[in-house]
Structure 1
Amino acid sequence: MTTALRLLARCDQVVGLDNLNDYYDVNLKLDRLKRLEPHSNFRFVKLDVGDRQGMADLFETERFDRVIHLAAQAGVRYSLQNPQAYIDSNVVGFTNILEGCRHTKVQHLVYASSSSVYGGNTAMPFSEHDSVDHPVSLYAATKKANELMAHTYSHLFNLPTTGLRFFTVYGPWGRPDMALFLFTKAILDGQPINVFNHGQMKRDFTFVDDIVEGVIRVLDRPAEANPAYTADQPDPATSNAPYRVFNIGNNSPVPLPDFIGCIEDAIGKKAEKRLLPLQDGDVPATYANTDALNDWVGFVPGTPIEVGIGRFVAWYRSYYGV
Structure 2
Amino acid sequence: MTGFATVAAFEAALGALPAIDPDAAAAARARQARLTKPAGSLGRLEDIAVFLAGWQGRALPAIDRARVAIFAGNHGVTAHGVSAFPPEVTVQMVANFERGGAAINALAGAAGLELAVVPLDLDRPTADFTIAPAMDAYECLAALSAGAAVVEPGLDLLVLGEMGIGNSTAAAALCARGFGGSAADWVGPGTGVDDAGIARKRVVVDRAIAFHAAAPLTPFETLRRVGGREIAAIAGAVLAARMARVPVILDGFICCSAVAPLAAMTGAITDHCLAGHCSAEPGHRRLLDRLGLDPLLALGMRLGEGSGAAVATAIVRAALAAHGGMATFAEAGVSDAG
Please state which band the TM-score falls in when normalised by the shorter chain: 0.3 to 0.5
Q: Which of the two has greater helix per residue?
A: 2
- Higher RCO, 1 or 2 (CA under 8 Å, sep at least 6)? 2
Q: Which of the two has greater strand per residue?
A: 1
